[in-house]
Each structure stands twice: as structure tokens, then as C-alpha cells.
Amino acid sequence: MSDTLLTERGLFVAGAAIALFIVYQAVLSLKTRPTRAKSLRISEIYVYPIKSLRPTKLTSALATRYGFEHDRVFMLLQVVPDGYKNMAVSKYPDMTQFLTSIEDRKDGQAVVNVTFRAFGSGQKTNTLSVPLAPETGKLEPFNVDMHGSPTAAFKMPNEYNAWFSECFGYQVVLVYLGNNKREVLWTDLVQTKNASLLAQVPVLGSAIPQTPKITFADCAPYLVVSSTSVDNVSSRLAPDEPMDVTKFRPNIVLSGADEAWDEDYWGKVRIGSVDLIMKHNCVRCASINVDYETGKPGTGESGQVLKKLQKDRRIDKGAKWSPVFGRYAFWRGRNNEQVFRVGDEAVVTDRNKDRTVFNWPGIG
């Protein structure tokens, strides 16, 4: 055997190996590339420090597994003869007359400034500054039960309750969550197996499956909506009265979806290194008919939004009568927090074959 033959055979083997390697890499890259990944952007961020009041619109916010920092850490309850009633926009449309603005003060104490601007009172406003992390040691314990999921909380000092009572014209109390959290009652999430999907990434082997916990937010840490679907709702209203997205109470508005209602099928949306797991639809009630200007049920087309959506948006088998708008999302990530910014890319990395089914007992 001559030397040349040996070299030729060697070259052939090396060439074949290289070719195989290239094919293998190509197959690998095809397999790891998420199929039909769709790139969207965060276009709006909203935080609601006091549940059911108007939101603070932010350009960035610290996202955590319990929702955005400061989101729904306070709520209001009406004082009634036999106790207290949870307040929310659907039954208390006057709550929309309170604007909020989060202020990071120089002394490191963040506050929310609440401005009451009652319709018909001209430009007259009245502002209260509420510390966002009050010292709970001196506060009176107060239990809250929301949607069957109770939590311990704290009653704020009298000056705050008095200010709100004066504005509303009836007795209310302002309640702070402190470090407490509520359990979610989604029947598919209280099961250990599914809950562990969302559980905190185990630290040093302590893999205790955790059901996700929430604040005074109704059912999930995040509500995500698509601006393409907001546009669809606007197309059903008078041109000079487009839909106000804040009536849907979103935390995150994503823009860039090609089709309205594409979000019905989103399973997972990645933002930075965090996955927002979209477990359920948000089903809607009469709160979307409230006129935020007047603080009363809307007259004209703005008071008909629920009905207009009931026509074709009752698409969740678990909530037959309620139209769906937006997705409830849970946190899955190696990090416990990450700053989300307007303009951040959001990639739909997982689509569900079928629509999800609402299953929080007692709602829908």
C-alpha cells in the first residue's frame, strides 16, 4: 500500500466525519429552535398598589414571582353592619375616581400618592400619601377572605381610613397585606404535580413543591393582555371612544401579535430569563362597562362592552357566560426577580393545542 493511498483514505474519512458533524449540528439547531416562536414587545406596564383604584403606569417595574413589586399590596373594604365587604370596581365603580402614583422618595421609603378627583367637582382634588411598606408591628391584625382564599393582613391607622371614608362618603378601611400571601385555588394548580411545575427552582436540593402564592390580585400574579385584541374591542366601539385598556386591569400589555385573540393559546411567554406560564383565561364581568371618567356604569357604547364581547368571546368551557379577555400568568424562573421594561422582547415559546379551562371554584 502506497503512502498516497493511505493519505487519500485518511482525507476521505476526515471529510466524511466533518460532513456528518455539520448535518448533526443542523439537526440539533432545528430541534432546539422553538417552533413558531413569535416575538412581541412589552408596550405598557401597570401596577395597582391599591386594588381596584386606578393604576400607576410605569416604564419599568421589578417583576417577582408574586407579581410586580407593590402590586395589590393594599385593598379597601366597606364597613357594613355585620362586618366588612371586599370592594372592587364592578360593585364600587366610584373606586375609579382615585388616581395613584408611585413615588420613590429620597429617604428610600416608597409611597403611593392617591389623588381623589370626583367627577363633577371641577378641578378640585385631594391627595393622600400612603407608605408602600408600612411597619406592621404596630398595626391591628385584620383577616381578609377573597374568592375563598383567605389571608391575614393589617388594618392601616385611622388617618388613612378616615381620608378614604371622607372621599367615598361611607365608612371604609384600608388594609395592608404585609408579608402575607394568598393561596391560589385553581384546581389544576393545587395538585402537587402541576404546582411543582411552577415551584421555586430548588435551592440546594430542597425541592418542596409549592403552590404559587398571590397578593390581593384576584387569581394570579400577572394579567397579560395583547394590544391587538384591545384594538379588536375598540373596533366594536365608536371611533372617538376607543377601549381604555386599563379597564381590563392588565399588568403587562404585549404588542405585535398578528391576530386578535392569539393569546387564547399562549402557553409560555419568555421575557429575559423568566417564563410567564399562562395557565388560565381571565373571564370578565360588568367592571369593563364602567365609565372611568364619571365613576358610574357607562352610558352609550362604553356601557355595552361586556355585551359586545359576550357575542363571540365566551370561549372558556369553565366559565360559560363570561367573555374572556387576557391571560393569567405565573412565574417560572431561576431568578426571584427581574426588571421588566417597556420595549423588552417577549417571545411566545409555547402554544397550547387547546384553550385552557377556567377552574377556580366559585368564580366564572
DSSP 219: S
Q: How far is the CB of 70 from ligand NAG (least distance, A)?
A: 15
Does residue 306 belong to the site contacting ligand NAG (CB under 6 A)?
no
SS3 213: strand
Name, in order, each residue with C-beta under 8 angstroms of 195's C-beta and a sequence gap of 6 or more: 189, 209, 210, 211, 212
Q: How far is the CB of 350 from ligand NAG (least distance, A)?
A: 11
Q: Which residue has the cell 378641578?
A: 123
Does residue 188 belong to the site contacting ligand NAG (CB under 6 A)?
yes
Contact 60, 342 (CB under 8 A): yes
Q: Which residue has the cell 382615585?
A: 98
Does residue 192 belong to the site contacting ligand NAG (CB under 6 A)?
no
Does residue 78 belong to the site contacting ligand NAG (CB under 6 A)?
no
Report d(CA 326, CA 249) in Å as an integer. Answer: 10
Q: How far is the CB of 186 from ligand NAG (least distance, A)?
A: 9
Does residue 143 belong to the site contacting ligand NAG (CB under 6 A)?
no
- The site string for ligand NAG over 234-273 (x = CB under 6 A, - otherwise) reads -x------------------------xx------------
Torsion of CA 40, 44, 50, 53, to 10 degrees: -120
Does residue 232 belong to the site contacting ligand NAG (CB under 6 A)?
yes
Contact 363, 283 (CB under 8 A): yes
Binds ligand NAG by CB under 6 A, chosen from 59, 191, 299, 335: 191
DSSP string, 128-186: EEEESS---TTSEEEEEEETTEEEEEEEPPHHHHHHHHHHHTS-EEEEE-TT--EEP--
Binds ligand NAG by CB under 6 A, chosen from 59, 121, 129, 158: 129
Q: Which one of the spans 51-59, 87-95, 141-149, 186-194 is the region binding ligand NAG (CB under 6 A)? A: 186-194
Q: How far is the CB of 252 from ligand NAG (least distance, A)?
A: 21
Q: How far is the CB of 323 from ligand NAG (least distance, A)?
A: 10
For 252, the grid coordinates are 403587562
Considering beta carbons, is residue 140 or 312 the nearer one to ligand NAG? Answer: 312
Does residue 109 belong to the site contacting ligand NAG (CB under 6 A)?
no
Interface residue list for ligand NAG (CB under 6 A): 101, 103, 113, 127, 129, 188, 191, 194, 232, 235, 260-261, 312
